Structure 1
Amino acid sequence: MATPTLTGGGRRAAPARGIRAPRPDAQARPRALGRRLARPGMWFALPAAALLAIFFAYPLATSLWQSFFTTSGGVSRWVGLEQYARLFADPLVLKSLANAGLLLVVQVPLMIALAVGLAYLLNQSWLRFRAGFRLLTFLPAVTTLVAYAVVFRVMLATDGGAINQLIGLVGIAPVDWLHNEWWARVALIAAITWRWTGYNMVIILAGLQAIPGELYEAARIDGAGRWQIFTRIVIPQLRPVLIFTTVTSTIGALQLFDENWILTEGGPNDATLTPVLYLYKVGFRQFDFGYASAIAWMLVVITAIISIVQFRIMREKP
């Protein structure tokens, strides 16, 4: 495109005939057109944004506001931070947090370790019927929470339960799985591990298949054995996947409700009481919704802190 030039007298020469000079608003037109084209997208997103505001943002803000009130005789009264101060003096809150901590310390590492081992085994090329084994391992993850919890409750029954019948064949006395504090925790951990190991295994298996084969070949050329390949290549390459599965499993353990409610209803002696189950009892049995809201927000803060700490610890390279 020809541009005007200065003549010897300092005057600007006219552009060549047949070539139009660019208009000042030529560059502004695409921007205005882009804004006009973006407006329909905003209208399409409006229903989803409205649903998010109605069913997520509004209840969230309402629960936070409600945690500063107490209700007596149908009349709400502002109490400020009194509900949150009540948390520290409630022994059931501390008991539920201790039970959730036990799940985090025992059940989550056990489940992730099993998921890694199964994924590594099912990723081996020498294993026959790998697709069938993967399907069987993932099958518990597609069963409904209530259905599998009811099945476990029937299997773990003290009288006539399938588990007690099996251990009775080898001369072991029946175990009171659901009414003994220690065994109730064991039963709950076993049920959760059975349900969610396959789910985490599939995610970890996808991470294993994304590892370049050249890394394995280079390690074998250098003389690395199976254990060295697993610890020096597989685990470091799986770090992002392990962070994701650990954090999501931690959130799931802190929000546990269905399994322990169906198996033991939080008993015996509150041995399987979790914060969400206690929140449910306070809110929908005692109808103390202000205190239940305070428990919910305490759980939100604890979950966020633990998830951030886990993410930062596992993100750091050794």
Structure 2
Amino acid sequence: MTVATVRRPSAEGSHDENRRDSPPKGRRFAARMQRPGLWFALPAAVLLALFFAYPLVVSLLQSFFRTSGGVSTFVGLDQYARMFRDPLVLKSLGSALLILVVQVPIMMALAVGLAYLLNQAWLRFRAGFRLLTFLPSITTLVAYSVVFRVIMTTDGGMLNQVLALFGAGPIDWLNNEWWARVAVIASITWRWTGYNMVIILAGLQSIPPELYEAARIDGAGRWQTFRHIVVPQLRPVLIFTSVTSTIGALQLFDENFILTGGGPNNATLTPVLYLYKIGFQQFDFGYASAIAWMLVILTGIIAVIQFRIMREKP
């Protein structure tokens, strides 16, 4: 007669089953690490919501209200319709588009040319030249605008003194509509060319050397190499710099405010400067918010157009 024995699971077997049911150590460790990560990200998220998301939503809601005597009244799209009847809105847009059409291509051409030159192996002291070209972009907006205002002063300004050495008469840089635009465009170009040059230079240095060697073997000259190799390889970088430069031109404020104050005769008035005057001088925040959102929509449309024009062909 045989007696059947029942095997009880050993302690080791039960531990094995618990190990199979529990997640791997790597996952447990990752889960534990995510919790403090969320806490570390919380202050940044709170600041982003408080100083970006909340003002964004409030400004959109405020654009549908008109405040008079401390009482806000819902007016729907009247603030947006008012912009089409406001000649200063159209004039400020014209000034911004003029800067966009004239200044951005000039700056981009200078940035590409300087980046291509400062990327050549035969050039000595390349690091020093790159530093000198980039230095204007780290100058504060207010500081360099004040310096340009002093340089372009009609009476006793350094620029007019230099022109006098060549027998040219003094130019009223900041009080003439045409020359005021030239002064603003020159100051913006001086500051931001080096910034875009560094970005384009990084794009040039990412181009494989084999492409240059292949072009040299095929007998391509410098211009053909630049046109058929450099420019296509730089297309993503050029899209980025052109879009950011466009946004900067449409959001121009500091240079116009300090150099010309939007004058003379509102010749250098930009949408951001105009909404500043409407909001913080006339305290019409509803209309200023509508102008701001109009500018956001216009910037998005122009950016989309630039992406479609400059996108890489299949």
TM-score (norm 1): 0.91
Shift of 1:308: 1.5
Letter in 2 for 1:134: R
Match of 1:147 in 2: 143
Partner deviation per Cα, 1:210-260 (whole Å, 9 max, x = no partner): 111111111001000000011011111111110111011000000000001
**What is the aligned counterpart of 1:300 among 271, 296, 303?**
296
CA shift at 1:205, angstroms? 0.6
Shift of 1:317: 2.1
Equivalent residues in 2 for 1:225-264, closer than 5 Å: 225-264=221-260
**Aligned partner letter, 2:115:** A
CA distance in 2, matches of 1:140, 1:33: 47
- Match in the other structure for 1:4: none
2:135 equivalent to 1:174: no
Instruction: Say if 2:156 is the partner of 1:160.
Output: yes
Which residue number corresponds to residue 106 of structure 1?
102
Q: Deviations over 1:57-110 (max 9, x none)?
A: 111111111111111111111111111111111110000001111111110010
Q: 1:159: how far off? A: 0.9
> What secondary structure sits across from 1:173 in the alignment?
coil
What's the offset of the Cα at 1:312?
2.0
Structure 1 Cα separation of the partners of residues 251 and 62 of structure 2:
21
> Which residue is equivalent to 2:74?
78
Matched position secondary structure for 2:23? helix
How many correspondences in the alignment?
Answer: 303
Q: Is the 8 A contact 2:67 2:286 kept in 1?
A: yes
Percent of aligned pairs sharing the same letter: 75
Query: Equivalent residues in 2 for 1:209-228 (5 A)?
Result: 209-228=205-224
- Does structure 1 residue 121 correspond to structure 2 residue 117? yes
Structure 1 runs of 4+ with >6 Å offset: none
Tell me the residue number matched to 1:275.
Answer: 271
Deviation of residue 173 (structure 1)?
1.1
- Stretch deviating more after TM superposition (39-48 or 92-101): 39-48
Query: Quick check: 1:26 aligned with 2:20?
Result: yes
Normalised to the residue count of structure 2, the TM-score between the two structures is 0.92
Shift, 1:19, TM fit = 9.8
Corresponding residue of 2:4: none
Following superposition, the deviation at residue 37 of structure 1 comes to 3.8
Residue 51 (str. 1) matches residue 47 (str. 2): yes
SS in 1 for 2:20: coil
Deviation at residue 24 of structure 1 after TM alignment: 8.9
Aligned to 2:281: 285
In structure 2, C-alpha distance between the alignment counterparts of 1:161 and 1:213, rounded to whole Å: 48
Aligned residue identity for 1:85: A
Alignment gaps of 5+ in structure 2: 1-6
Q: Distance in 2 between matches of 1:276 and 1:66?
A: 17
**Structure 1 CA distance, aligned partners of 2:310 and 2:123?**
31
* Stretch deviating more after TM superposition (94-103 or 28-37): 28-37
Query: Matched residue of 2:67: which SS?
Result: strand
Alignment of 1:194-209 (within 5 A): 194-209=190-205
Provide the C-alpha distance between the structure 2 equivalents of 1:213 and 1:206, rounded to a whole number of angstroms. Answer: 14
| Cα root mean square deviation, aligned | 1.9
Amino acid at match of 1:243: I
User: Once the two structures are superposed, what CA deviation does each residue of 1:153-194 show, in whole Å capped at 9, x if it has no partner?
Assistant: 111111111111111111111111111111111111011000
The whole-number CA distance in structure 2 between the counterparts of 1:85 and 1:57 is: 26
Is the Cα–Cα contact under 8 Å of residues 235 and 312 in structure 2 kept in the other structure? no
Moved more, 136-145 or 41-50: 41-50
Partners in 1 of 2:214 and 2:143 — Cα distance?
A: 47
Structure 2: how far apart are the matches of 1:152 and 1:178?
10
* Residue of structure 2 equivalent to 1:93: 89
The whole-number CA distance in structure 2 between the counterparts of 1:243 and 1:266 is 30
Per the TM alignment, residue 40 of structure 1 is displaced from its structure 2 partner at its CA by 2.3
